[in-house]
């Protein structure tokens, strides 16, 4: 038997004011995207902003459906829109914010498993890391240099 230890490294910030102006602006856009969320069931609004290497910013918000799991998370809404409209562009950054309707959340909200796998697909396709920033409604911000920090044992096409 052999034991394997896998570690992940994140940078944390106490507020958006500690971030470069470009990232602050992306957070503002992601927070604005939350307002278009359709979340009548979970009451949990999520916004995403994706920065592409061509200068385009793509926004997404979660879209729920009474027939679970027919809805989509904000991250995948933005990812698929970016891939559909700018198929040759490279995704450089993804910003994720979340806000429940009832109470403020201070823990950073990470992408769900399906979103992690979707981000992994694009990171592998473009053969370059995607920086991921995420936060709750208030509180600390986490930055991951790559999706590999969130999903170290990535399932990809090489395994098929």
Active-site residue list? 75
Residue 115, annotated as binding a ligand: yes
Residue 62, annotated as binding a ligand: yes
Residue 63, annotated as binding a ligand: yes
- Tell me, rounded to whole angstroms, the distance of Cα 54 from its chain centroid: 19
Residue 64, annotated as binding a ligand: yes
Residue 66, annotated as binding a ligand: yes
Residue 38, annotated as binding a ligand: no
Q: State whether residue 19 is helix, strand or coil.
A: coil
Task: List, as one string, the DSSP characters of 92-120.
Answer: EEEEEEEEESSS---S-----HHHHHHHH
DSSP 90: P
Residue 14, annotated as binding a ligand: no
Q: Is the peptide bond before 62 cis (omega within 30 degrees of 0)?
A: no
In contact, 82 and 48? CB cutoff 8 Å: no
Annotated binding site for Zn(2+): 73, 112, 115
Annotated binding site for substrate: 62-68
Annotated binding site: 62-68, 73, 112, 115
């Amino acid at each position: 038997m052999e034991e394997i230890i896998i570690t992940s490294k994140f940078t944390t910030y106490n507020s958006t004011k500690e971030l470069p102006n470009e990232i602050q602006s992306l957070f503002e856009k992601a927070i604005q995207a939350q307002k278009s969320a359709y979340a009548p069931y979970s009451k949990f609004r999520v916004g995403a902003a994706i920065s592409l290497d061509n200068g385009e910013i793509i926004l997404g918000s979660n879209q729920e459906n009474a027939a679970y799991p027919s809805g989509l998370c904000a991250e995948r809404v933005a990812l698929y829109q970016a891939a559909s409209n700018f198929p040759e562009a490279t995704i450089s950054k993804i910003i994720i914010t979340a806000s429940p309707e009832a109470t403020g959340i201070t823990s950073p909200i990470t992408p769900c498993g399906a979103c992690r796998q979707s981000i992994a697909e694009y990171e592998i396709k473009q053969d370059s890391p995607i920086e991921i920033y995420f936060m709750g409604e208030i509180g600390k911000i986490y930055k991951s240099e790559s999706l590999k920090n969130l999903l170290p044992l990535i399932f990809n096409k090489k395994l098929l």
